[in-house]
Amino acid sequence: MNRDAKIFVAGHRGMVGSSIIRALELAGHSSIITRTSKELDLRNQRAVEEFFAKANPEYVILAAAKVGGIFANDTYRAEFLYDNLMIEANVIHQSYAHKVKKLLFLGSSCIYPKHAPQPLKEEYLLSGELEPTNEPYAIAKITGIKLAESYRRQYGCNFISAMPTNLYGPNDNYNLKNSHVLPALMRKFHIAKQEGHDHVQIWGTGSPKREFLHVDDLAAACVFLMEKYNEEMFLNIGTGTDISIKELALIVKKIVGFEGALQFDSTKPDGTPRKLMDVSRICGLGWSPLISLEDGIKMVYEEEVRHAVFAD
């Protein structure tokens, strides 16, 4: 991509999109196009068509999505399916219609079957049943992969896809009803410390294992792929290492400085037992993550405390 090429980052206000903006600016890109959801409803077909006709972006990074944790995914199933299908269908189709040079679609590790072999290889897609609690979201993301793949096959579009593992970082969602596990833990421990609680309750048994990637590492990977990768096969993006929820909770507890006990609520769902990404393909191209989990959590927590995020 030329440094003055027009790049549309969909979802620029979210954790992922805002990090991608920072990475693009760091790489010297100066013509970055953004729209808030109030300015452009990506679910609205006509609005997206008019935007592409007027803005005429040369490159598109599709980071916009309706996202959430187990509770939100399982509660708002229709919204997660409808909103994400509409967003990706409109943006991908208009990218084709307006001759975008390259598009990157960002999915999620939840696309893989619940009981797929570990670590998760890209070829395991559609090889088994999905985790029921987030099946609508997973189906939407699988559709996005197939849209990019199909427009490539039928029309020759240079549309690529990447599947990040669990992410964390600045500008995350800390709402306890619909956040992911790591930001939820940070907020729970912070509140417990501030209010002098003697324990923190955590959903599930603590035994599931998850992989976590700092969003700035993901953003660097996105810029890397936009510069270097032009193949049909989607790529996993992660660290290649995982940790149990209990181990994660102990790290967050230590960083926050909470002195109380952990209490696991086994009546709540665990979700998929394990989700470890095989990242050999992207690492083989020359990319690798730089931020360790403990360092990353510490940086994020300290920054969010400075901005009084947990006081909201």
Residues identified as active-site: 137
Rounded Cα gap, residues 182 and 311, in angstroms:
17
Q: Residue 29 has which token pair? A: 């890109």
**Phi, psi angle pair for 278, to nearest 5°:** -85, 115
Measure Cα distances from 201 to 124, 193, 263 in Å: 34, 13, 5
- Pairing type for strands 209-210 and 59-62 reads unpaired
Query: Within 13 Å and on the Cβ side, how many CA atoms surround 93?
Result: 16
Looking at the chain, how many residues does it have?
312
**Phi, psi angle pair for 3, to nearest 5°:** -65, -25
Rounded Cα gap, residues 21 and 182, in angstroms:
23
